[in-house]
Amino acid sequence: MSADKQYYVAPANPAGRNLLLKLQSSGTEVLGIIDNLKSGPEITSLHLPLGLQHRVVVAAGAFQAGVVSGLVQRGVPVGAIFLQTEADSLTFRPCRHLGVMKFLLKNSLQQLVAKTCSKLLAKSFFIYYAEDFVDTNLLLQFRYHQRQEPGQALLLCRNISRQPDLPHWGKVILVTSDWQLCWYLARAKVVVLDHEYPGGWLAQFRPYLKIVQLWHGLPYKYISGNRHLLPQPDACFVSSSLWYNQQVFPALFNAQHYLALGYSRNDVFVTDAQDIDWCNTVPQAVLDEIQASTGPLWLYMPTYRDNESELQLELCRIETLCAQYQRSFVLKLHPFISRRLARQFAVEDEMHAVIPLPGFAHIYLYPSGMNIYPWLAHSEALITDYSSVVSDYLLHTGAIFLYQYDRATYKDARGAFLVADEYFTAGPVASDTTELCLLLAEFAEHGDRWQPIRQALRKQLQLTDTPAAPAILDHIRQLGSN
């Protein structure tokens, strides 16, 4: 690396961060890490045009060509871009103009295909779109739409590997080719999402689509949103909070309208029991059997950490507490942590069954890929940390306990929280297992003294407490008819 140059590193992923640390350790002057798709406190603004002394180095990986293309489209000269030759090295080569031109040509051809197909093909479907994993929010809204208007709604899925039952959930299209994906996107009246999927064919068709973004929660931790990605707004953005729609989401997401219609998954808290959709949920008979055997439910749903591979909870003490007060303790974990825990206890990580942990009569492992919201609606308490499930659970009558054993390190890793604590803290906070057990024991012995806190927060966030699925469907229909 030249001593008289200043460097930016891209992108803001693990490979890019690793490269950033290596350059800093070598004494290279690094201005910060940049990203075409993300924004946030830890991401540096790229000041254009670049000075003669500036260089951008792109970490090695399958993403490298796409990152380079994005940089060039932003106005970074090809001559200022250097590519890491392999992971963990500090060897770089200049970016080749031919490779960039090939990528840009492919991108231009995709744009032309998307524009032409969108104009020529008749609109026939309401598309619910997902990649890698179908989230509960999207699945329940799709199934409600399908029940109300059979044949009108399609669940269009790419690269789904952890949900083998997907074909049984309704009219599901498993995409096997780019042309198949183009065919459906071009014929969509409305496309419903609940995540962001930057790049690829969806990004090319997006300017010609009516997008309903069902963002999947009210975040406490910082998120990037999509405002920095979208040149034009989506048709609408849906959440469960009028306050978030007014104060938070417009700065993060680009939409024509921000609607507080609620989340379909939260309908379990505000509808009659017979109207609850138990799709992709462990059956109620199992729930009833557990409660009859080991007592009312306490659910633990922690946020996943990139730097953790073990469950940070003293299960022996939790078991003793639950045995004393006759409670059932259910773990709903990230798939990676769930698999590790299953291996630790030498049990199968079942995809469809609740697993009693060996040696712990009151502790159960819930399948990580399944919907737990009907169980939440039957629970007595929720234990979590920084998860948006807190605002969902405010619609229920159960108590909320925040087990934030790593608050300082979590904040260092993730950056500043998105909202002030007063808009998230829905109950008492424990910093270790001892404090958590004391709080749960007090709750079991003396009842719920934190209900006024939750009621005040629910009012402060202006949460939607009416069924979401019918309201969202009405808006989707309206968009599709225009």
- From residue 154, alpha-carbon distances to 34, 183, 369 in Å are 37, 13, 21
For the structural domain made of 6-95, what CATH number should be given?
3.40.50
**One fold for 6-95 and 113-268+467-481:** yes
> CA–CA separation, 403 vs 426, rounded Å?
12
> CA–CA separation, 372 vs 301, rounded Å?
10
| E strand residue ranges, 63-186 | 81-84, 92-94, 125-131, 153-158, 172-174
Contact 220, 244 (CB under 8 A): no
Residue numbers of the chain with a pLDDT score lower than 50: none
Q: Dihedrals φ, ψ of 49, to 5°?
A: -75, 155
Given this model, what pLDDT does residue 444 score? 98
Chain centroid to Cα 15, Å, comes to 21
Contact 58, 81 (CB under 8 A): yes
DSSP string, 9-63: EE-SSHHHHHHHHHHHHTT--EEEE--SS--STTSPP--SSPPTTEEEEE-SSTT
For the structural domain made of 274-461, what CATH number should be given?
3.40.50.12580
- From residue 125, alpha-carbon distances to 193, 208, 405, 432 in Å are 14, 14, 47, 50
What length is written for the chain?
482
Given this model, what pLDDT does residue 291 score? 98
CA-CA-CA-CA torsion sign (214, 216, 219, 225): negative
Query: Under the phi-then-psi rule, with left for phi > 0, alpha for psi from -120 to 50, and beta for the rest, what region is 251?
Result: alpha
Given this model, what pLDDT does residue 316 score? 97
> CA–CA separation, 394 vs 463, rounded Å?
9
- From residue 444, alpha-carbon distances to 46, 64, 439 in Å are 54, 54, 9
Given this model, what pLDDT does residue 1 score? 66
Contact 185, 202 (CB under 8 A): yes
What is the token pair recorded at 140? 């329940």
Given this model, what pLDDT does residue 416 score? 79
450: buried, middle or exposed (CB in 10 Å: 19+, 13-18, 0-12)? middle
Given this model, what pLDDT does residue 88 score? 85
What is the token pair recorded at 11? 């992108």
Q: Dihedrals φ, ψ of 466, to 5°?
A: -120, 160
Domain ranges across the chain: 6-95, 113-268+467-481, 274-461
Given this model, what pLDDT does residue 228 score? 74
What's the CATH fold of domain 113-268+467-481?
Answer: Rossmann fold (3.40.50)
Contact 280, 306 (CB under 8 A): no
Given this model, what pLDDT does residue 307 score? 66
